[in-house]
Amino acid sequence: MEGLWQGSGVGGASPELSVIVPMHNEEGSVGLLAERIRRVLDAEGITYEVIFVDDGSTDGSVAAVERLARTMAEVRLVRLARNFGKEAAMLAGYDRVCGRAVIVLDADLQQPPELFPEMLARWRSGYDVVHAVRADTAGISRIRRLASSAFYWVNGQLAGVRIPAHAADFGLMDRAVVEVLRQCREQHRFNRALVAWAGFRNTAITYNAAPRHAGRTHWSWGRLVGYAMDGILSFSVRPLRLLGLLGGFVSAMSFAYLTLVAILRIGWPDRAGAGFGYASIIGMISLLGGFQLLGIWLLGEYIGRIYEQSKGRPAYIVREDRAWRADAAESSRPVGHPSRITDAA
């Protein structure tokens, strides 16, 4: 796996581990999160960087990271030009990591940094991906949990990429895996499925997710449904095949029905068509109309994705990228200089 990447640190001094923290309005958690990361990783004796990707926060998150950087040189701050969503924020992090191992961690303290040593141990023993799988989430409603299980089942049936159930994006990846994720420049990203799709040697550890430390979840039901659809439609054309099967089934039924009508009409001319009146016609027309509209919608979902991909817009826009590490290439830029870099890859 050596040689797949070039570390961007100077003189081989780049950190061994990169922690990516996507954040959107998390000012209340940044300080404590960094404190816990520092405690764990200092005890581990590993060099590291913590990349906070600010995904268009409108609160004091950026100021909180800047305050933190005064006492923590491992911090790097990547500010996106607006809110692009967690998937894009993670990609912005992947595009900038220096470490040989990469951990993605939510900012809200639902995921304990105290798992890092276990993850690193698994990585050192030869695993490329260490999923952290939620055993339980405090403060999540039963219906949400049920919907989550249903999603993993449907996704497994339709998308053909097996994502470990209840594995959030929290986990460790070898740099080689991150390089693969970087090469996938799809507009509708679904990180966990991409990780599963990439393969490599996977293992999982379990943890109990804590309730949010501060702020509130950014996932409305609408957003979750859209995300679930991305998970399926970005990975498979199986729904289109099912549509084909449905079409075949309806055609076969219609053919059988017509044959039956013809036989009745020839064999029993007086009784033919009895009971097949207005209601059945309306029923058939609306049923078929419904199927057709559903089919057009499904095609539209795929075509819309082709349309968006064909525009080739960057997945995110960076308005500022600051590092405080002494060896970081970026620190040569004047601090605070708003470098307007776009996602060029």
From the list ligand UDP, Mg ion, none, partner contacted by residue 85 (C-beta under 5 to 8 A by kind): ligand UDP
Look at residue 307 and give the partner it binds from ligand UDP, Mg ion, none, a contact being a CB closer than 5 to 8 Å depending on partner kind.
Answer: none
Task: Give whichever of 107 and 194 is closer to ligand UDP, judged by the CB atom.
Answer: 107
CB 265 within 8 Å of CB 223 = no
Instruction: Determine, following the binding rule CB under 5 A, whether residue 55 of this chain makes contact with Mg ion.
Output: no
Which residue, among 52, 105, 103, 60, has the nearest Cα to 80 in the 3D structure?
Answer: 52
Q: How far is the CB of 69 from ligand UDP (least distance, A)?
A: 18
Sketch the per residue contact string, 79 through 108, with Mg ion: x for CB under 5 A, - otherwise.
---------------------------x-x
Does residue 110 bind Mg ion (CB under 5 A)?
A: yes
Task: Give yes or no for residue 208 binding ligand UDP (CB under 6 A).
Answer: no
Nearest to 130 by CA among 194, 82, 202: 202
CA distances from 223 to 44, 58, 116, 209, 229 (A): 38, 19, 29, 21, 10
Q: What angle do CA 16, 48, 112 make, to 5 degrees?
A: 115
Helix (H) or strand (E) run with residue 241 in it:
helix 238-267
**Interface of this chain with ligand UDP, residues 34 to 73, rule: CB under 6 A:** 55
The smaller minimum CB distance to Mg ion, of residues 100 and 212, is found at 212
Closest residue by Cα to residue 151 from 229, 73, 92 = 229
Query: Rounded to the nearest whole angstrom, what is the least distance from the CB of residue 244 to ligand UDP in the complex?
Result: 35
Is residue 319 within 8 Å of residue 341, measured between CB atoms? no
Question: Where does this chain touch Mg ion (CB under 5 A) — which range of 110-118, 190-198, 289-297, 337-345?
Answer: 110-118
CB of 113 to Mg ion, least distance (A): 14
Beta-carbon-side half-sphere exposure of residue 84 (alpha carbons within 13 Å): 28
What x-and-dash track marks residues 66-105 binding ligand UDP by CB under 6 A?
Answer: -----------------x-xx--x----------------
> CB 22 → ligand UDP: shortest distance, Å?
4
> Residues in the chain, how many?
345
Q: How far apart are CA 110 and CA 115, in angstroms?
A: 12
Q: Which amino acid is at 58?
A: T
Smallest gap from residue 256 Cβ to ligand UDP (A): 48
- What 3-state DSSP class applies to 221? helix
Whole-number minimum distance, CB 85 to ligand UDP, in Å? 5
User: Shortest CA distance to 190 belongs to which of 217, 215, 158?
Assistant: 158
Where along the sequence are the contacts to Mg ion (CB under 5 A)?
A: 106, 108, 110
Where along the sequence are the contacts to ligand UDP (CB under 6 A)?
A: 22-24, 26, 55, 83, 85-86, 89, 106-108, 110, 217-219
